[in-house]
Structure 1
Amino acid sequence: MKKTLLAAACSFALEAAQPEYLVLIPEGIFHGIDGRPFDAPHWNLTPERGEQIVAALNQRSIDMVIDYEHATLEAQKTGEPAPAAGWLKSGGFQYIEGVGVCSAKFEWTDKAAGFIGSREYKYLSPVFLYNKAGEVQHLLHVALTNTPNLDQLPEARLAAAAQDFFAQNSQQQDSTMEELLERLRWMLNLPISATAEDIIAELNKLTAQIQEATGTTVAANGQNLFDAIAAAGQLKVAANSQSAPDPTQFVPMAVYQEAIAQASKASNDAQTKELNDLFEAACADGRLTGTATIAYYKGQIETNPAFVKAQIESLPKIAALTQQQTSQVNLAENHQQTPAVDDVQNEVFGLLGVSKEDAEKYGA
């Protein structure tokens, strides 16, 4: 629901001597000399609201002007000059407990100082906004005046002052929001065309990633991004605080790499020998026959050893060739064990009536 604020002007007597601070809005409940406000039970400035007003005033980038007879408000309509009587310095506003919203850094023009010293101007008149309950909300303008009664400004001028305040405040909020969005786009590495919805979606993803990495919920239960950063730092500290590694359990990288290379070479050599033995056996038992076939598989041993092994193991042995080769081996072994004797030589030895042993012993 839209908040309705009203504007009012009141006056406070100035001291001829330079005070330590100017009281702009008094603390607590107060009324005008003529009994105003008539649209609220009273005016009331609470310490909490006073602190908020001071914080907003100190964020201004320019000083607040003190004019004559609220000429600044009239100049917005007429375009007439509104010379300054003095200035309330930005950063010099403060809330003094028991006193109210004050300015401890202010200066008068020489002309205004002369008017005050000669009592030609006697009152300081702030213009402020308040709600229907009479609670003071904002300070708009300050002026030197000789009209001590409250709310002497026409209602139209006060309404215009309030409208001007809201317009400036809205523009400032829009500017601040656009600056915030621009910074978020830069931080999240988003394009300039990224909308507020795009930024929110990216922030939601970032929030989920932070929670997953740190276990800290961002912006919930009093937590925020700085808590997540602190949690990440604690994880890092915990990791770095682990006991130092045992040197006996580790070796230099060069030694490790050399051992890996030697183990790999030994494994390759064993695999090559196994494949060569398998190849030779296949040639011997008849699984590989023919010059072209043997040459093909021999050429594949180095480039495609797994293929050669699979092919040879799937080939059937040829029984006839296996048996023939076995018989030849047995004949060769028998030949070495028992030398063959020529049948003619045995017949001659028989005719002579001698034995082979006698012939070898005594001679033919």
Structure 2
Amino acid sequence: MLLEAAPGTFAGMKLATASTTILSSLGADGKAPEWIMLFPAGLISAQDGRQWVNDDPAQVADKSLRGVDLPIDWEHAADHKAPKGEQAPAAGWIDQVEVRDGAVWAHVTWTEAGRASVESKSYRYVSPSFLHDSGGHIRRLLGAGLVNRPAITTLPALASGTTSDPDMEKALLDALGLAAGATTADAVIAIGKLRGDLQTATAAVQQPDPTKFVPKADLELALARASTAETKLEDNAKAAAEAKATAAVDAAIAAGKIAPVSKDHYLALARERPAEVDALFATLPPLGLAQVSDKGGTPPVATGQLTAEQKALCAQTGVSEADFLKALG
């Protein structure tokens, strides 16, 4: 990296010029860009080992323009020739400075000669002239110069002659969310945005929003209450089923459809298969000895014996005939 240290200091600050490429290539129409990037965000390293830090871009943008436009000349004539009384004509004028994702950008109104130098590729790089403190922190932009020996080679040339970077790998474009025709300038901007997103995410992790989290004790209490409520619902359901089964069996006994001795048997069935037991009770006839008519009909059954209907009932219910007779008394 070429670093040209200009003589003198300004209120304790040092003057430096650093050749760097501009973060904007020629457009499809081959015209010189109106906006150029002079300082990328964060640390700026020189090839000779020296470094600067663009850690307060807002201050740089605020203090650079003080009622007058800043010149862009050729080969830093304003820093080297003008102090000797030699001419230092302008190739363009910086009339706006703003911050984009931590980088310092400048709007340039080119002169005819300056525009011709850029669009003809006679000059392909720009070198900002700036003030920095003893710690290398950039404090103020003084101007810039068109040069042909870049210091920071990670950015595209001012007059690159193309709108895309053919060496950009598709995987990198996909990772940055860029289309196939993206330039390196687009990539640098995307990286700056990613850096900002990462800083925001890191701050959110370090200082979580208390409204989005529940204290552990409150969560455990809520889970315990939910478990208790679920248990109560299950107990209530079991109690209701037991009451329904008992009522159905008691009703069948009262109607004389089953013998009291069979109650436990039918309760077990009613608990497991309530619908089937209800259907059985609906079709069972009342128990009792068959009546004999003087005019004919079913012959009387000897005492101690079951009727054909009662025997069939025993077969359906699984109750032995002896138990059935015992229940009949």
TM-score (norm 2): 0.39
User: Which protein has greater RCO, CA pairs closer than 8 Å, 6+ apart?
Assistant: 2
TM-score (norm 1): 0.35
Which one has a larger percent strand, Structure 1 or Structure 2? 2
